[in-house]
Amino acid sequence: MSAKKASTAAAAPAFITPDALLAHWQGHRGLTRRVIDAFPDDQLYTFSLGGLRTFGEMANELLAIASPMVQGLVTGDWEEYSPQGVDSKQALLELWDESTGEIADFWSQLPADGFAKTVTAFGQFTGPVHWQILYAIDNEIHHRGQGYVYLRALGIAPPAFYER
């Protein structure tokens, strides 16, 4: 068996590499930041539809998942899930930017061969590392989509979904 054949057999095929997935996530985070910023200060933590939370409260949830998730995956130390009581656009955007930097820092410490490993996040959610991270991203997209409806209902054109 040649080295090339051994290589094909040994390595799991990649749908996407860790670096490309981080870039994909950061693109989403940039879009979510623009959606937060598109809300008027006095509507971000007050306006909602259908009895759902305000978009500000949803963003507080996203903050409590994203960076703590990647930090927990690197260190194995998990804090309990606990959103902070942020209630202003300025404070939210500052924490958002801080989180984005933390995610990049911790991401570089994730072992490249560890994404299929099963772990328990926040002491309660068990699944492969890639599943944990996709959950954080998918949950961000899900709530941001709800933010788009809020913005439209407020008469505000949201940023383009396809621009990252």
Contact 40, 129 (CB under 8 A): no
Determine if 17 is a binding residue for a second copy (CB under 8 A): yes
Binders in 30-49 for a second copy, by CB under 8 A? 49
- Nearest-approach distance from CB 127 to a second copy, in angstroms: 10
- Nearest-approach distance from CB 94 to a second copy, in angstroms: 25
Locate 64 and state its tokens.
């409590």
d(CA 34, CA 39): 9
d(CA 48, CA 27): 26
Which amino acid would we find at residue 65? I
Which amino acid would we find at residue 102? E
Determine if 123 is a binding residue for a second copy (CB under 8 A): no
- Nearest-approach distance from CB 136 to a second copy, in angstroms: 12
Single residue of 115, 132, 136, 159 touching a second copy by CB under 8 A: 115
Look-up of token digits 């930017």: 97
Locate 74 and state its tokens.
């690197």
> Which residues are at the interface with a second copy (CB under 8 A)?
1, 3-4, 6-8, 10-18, 20-21, 24, 28, 49-52, 112-113, 115-116, 128, 130-131, 133-135, 138-139, 141-146, 148-154, 161-162
